[in-house]
Amino acid sequence: MKIHKIYREQFVPKDIEQVFSFFERPENLSIITPPELNFKIITPSPIPMRQGTLIDYVIRVFGLPFRWTTYISVYEPPKIFVDVQIRGPYSFWHHTHRFFPKDKGTVIVDEVLYSLPFGFIGEIVHLISVRKSLERIFNYRSQKIREIFEQ
């Protein structure tokens, strides 16, 4: 199983408490997720974020609906939280969200480790489309975060 990595850093001119407060609300994921993924949270709101929280979503990948369940394995406000896929389209998905105060603002760090199912075939699909799709998703996310926090 090959592990792939996405790493993104972004500075926003807002204090860490305000930024963390936005990200710790799963309901805000739909704001920073591209519309073509048709992202919907199944877990009833409000969702209390803490270590051990389970969150169920439905997303569309290549036009097909996938149920996705994440487990919050680490939760240390306002510095870090980690969501781990326990059910979904990937063989492995581990997303670390870190927040650092800097220059009267906050640095947001996303680090995702992931792998695809189906061995060699999954790797070919990754090269052809999954990598590009994830880049598009994180570019969209970055743009939306800029719009939200740089107003």
- Cα 97 from Cα 80, distance rounded (Å): 5
- Position 46 scores a pLDDT of 92
Nearest to 14 by CA among 5, 1, 3, 23: 23
pLDDT in tens, 98-145: 999 999 999 999 999 999 998 889 889 888 988 999 999 999 999 999
Nearest to 79 by CA among 99, 97, 95: 99
Binning pLDDT at 50, 70 and 90, where does residue 62 land?
A: confident
pTM: 0.94
* Range with lowest mean pLDDT among 49-58, 73-82, 122-131, 137-146: 122-131
Residue tagged 């799963």 (tokens): 26
**122: Cβ contacts below 8 Å, ≥ 6 apart:** 91, 115, 116
Query: Amino acid letter at 136?
Result: R
Tell me, which fold does domain 4-149 have in CATH? Alpha-D-Glucose-1,6-Bisphosphate; Chain A, domain 4 (3.30.530)
